[in-house]
Structure 1
Amino acid sequence: MLLRDIAHSRTGDKGNISNISVIAKSEKYWPLIVKEITEEVVADHFENLILGDVVRFILPNIQSLNFVLFQSLGGGVTQSLALDAHGKCFSSVILEIEIFNEDLINKD
Structure 2
Amino acid sequence: MKPVRRRIRRHFGLTAKQVAVRSKRPWYFQWGITVLYVVFGYGIAYWQFAGAEDVHQKLRQTALENQTLHTKIIQVERQLQIEQAAQTNLAQQLNKVQDENMHIKQDLVFYKNITNAKRLAK
Greater share of residues in strand: 1
- The alignment's TM-score, normalised by the length of structure 1, stands at 0.18
* Larger RCO (CA under 8 A, 6+ residues apart): 1
Q: Which has the larger radius of gyration?
A: 2
Greater share of residues in helix: 2
- The alignment's TM-score, normalised by the length of structure 2, stands at 0.16
